[in-house]
Amino acid sequence: MSLDTDDYLDGNAAAGELSNIFAMDVTAAQGQCAHCGAIKRFAEAQLYMQGPGIVARCSVCQHVILRLVKARQRAFLDLRGLRCLILDTSQLQESGR
Amino acid sequence: MWRVGTVVALHDETVTARTITLKVPDWPGHVAGQHVDVRLTAADGYSAVRSYSIASAPNSERRVELTVERLPNGEVSPYLTQEIAVNDRLELRGPIGGWFVWRTQQTEPIQLVAGGSGIVPLMAIIRSRASGSTAPFRLLYSVRKPEAVLYREELQALSDQDHSLGLTYAYTRVAPKDWPRPAGRIDAALIANTTWPSKLVPTCYVCGPTSFVESASRLLTASGNDPDKIRTERFGPTGERQ
């Protein structure tokens, strides 16, 4: 599957919104795509923000790895496209958490 | 968490780009390469959020500089480049991002590749290096025309005083008279002639519009750089991150 538009950004652009949800920076986190198995930094994901929410796609196979929609004081975070998210916990030690 | 910054200075970099200096009392400090989200809220409650890269090096004065390029149909950038005044307040979220960053402990050769206003976070990296690092740096700066170059004098001064900061401009539409290379996009020959040889294993930082980042990182990979050593940040086709 390939998307022939280049109207995407990258995972860096979602980091502000995701900082409301995660205690740690996600751009440096590695995520494994549940579809193709590639392990990539979240910063490298292809990000689509034109719709009512945020959609992140695997930069290798373009399958959806993250969806975030906010509505009526709720955030809906769909991570079924990610098999695993690997976070660097040294950040937490730096900030004493 | 949104913080409030107060505009303490404004400086026009080009006819379309302006640097906004903010003082942010509860600023926790940043790392070169990070960005902030800026939120503008209208009287009727409508709000718009955009991401802007930080141009200033980390500093202890809780000072944050943003360089904003005005986009013809932008919703936020016209206000930031034309309307905003000293003493105005802006809502900020950040600093954001832990991947597209350069830390002063890094000693390996650094290759910076900027497309248009993609120079902004790379300038924070160059300014951060100027505070004492001797890591060898090269910048390849692709820009439409000479008048659109941001930070030209500062880049020239830094490069003159320290020859380990190599500077190459690539003009895409209009080149200065007698410029050795005709106007055109970055290509394989330019990458081969002006960037670090891949055998030196540089870390590369590429920032600009999406199509520029795609093509520059492809060329860097084709010239032998490991994709894992290439860090990218995309502004989107319009140059405005939403």
pLDDT in tens, B105-150: 999 999 999 999 999 999 999 999 998 899 999 999 999 999 999 9
**Contact between B100 and A27 using a beta-carbon 8 Å cutoff:** yes
Distances (CA, A) of B199 to B196, B222, B225, B227: 8, 13, 8, 14
* Residues B233/B122, Cβ–Cβ less than 8 Å: no
> Which of B93, B232, B242 minimises the CB distance to A44?
B232
Helices (H), B173-227: 188-194, 210-222
Residue B1, judged by CB atoms within 10 A of its CB (0-12, 13-18, 19+), counts as: exposed
Kindly report the number of other CB atoms within 10 A of residue B177's CB atom: 5
Average confidence score pLDDT of chain A: 88
Tell me: pLDDT of B54 over 70.
yes
Give the CATH number of domain B110-234; options: 3.40.50.300, 3.40.50.80, 3.40.50.970, 3.30.530.20. 3.40.50.80
Q: Chain A: give the shortest CA distance to residue B165, in Å.
A: 27
**Contact between A43 and B99 using a beta-carbon 8 Å cutoff:** yes
Per-residue pLDDT band for B98 (boundaries 50, 70, 90) equals very high
Omega before B95 cis (within 30°)?
yes
Structure tokens given for B9: 């200075």
Considering only CB atoms, which chain A residues are within 8 Å of B230? none
SS3 label, residue A5: coil
Per-residue pLDDT band for A94 (boundaries 50, 70, 90) equals low
Considering only CB atoms, which chain A residues are within 8 Å of B231? 43
**DSSP result, B105-139:** T--S-EEEEEEGGGHHHHHHHHHHHTTT----EEE
Q: DSSP character for B54?
A: B
* Residues B134/B163, Cβ–Cβ less than 8 Å: no
**DSSP result, chain B:** -EEEEEEEEEEESSSSEEEEEEE-TT-----BT-EEEEEEE-TTS-EEEEEEEB-SPP-TT-EEEEEEE--TT-SSHHIIIII--TT-EEEEEEEE-SSS-B-TT--S-EEEEEEGGGHHHHHHHHHHHTTT----EEEEEEESSGGG-SSHHHHHHHHHH-TTEEEEEEESS-PPTT-SS-S----HHHHHHHSPPGGG--EEEEEESHHHHHHHHHHHHHTT--GGGEEEEE--TTS---
Q: What number is the average pLDDT over the span B56-77?
A: 93
Tell me: pLDDT of B237 over 80.
no
pLDDT computed for residue A6 by the predictor: 65
* Domain residue spans of chain B: 2-96, 110-234
Give A65-93 pLDDT, tens digit per residue. Answer: 999 999 989 999 999 999 999 998 886 65
Q: Which amino acid is at B188?
A: A
pLDDT computed for residue A1 by the predictor: 44
Q: Which amino acid is at B229?
A: K
What residues in chain B have their Cβ under 8 A from chain A's Cβ atoms?
A: 35-37, 49, 51, 93-94, 96-100, 210-211, 214, 231-237, 241-242
* Domain residue spans of chain A: 9-94
- Quickly name the fold that domain B2-96 has: Elongation Factor Tu (Ef-tu); domain 3 (2.40.30)
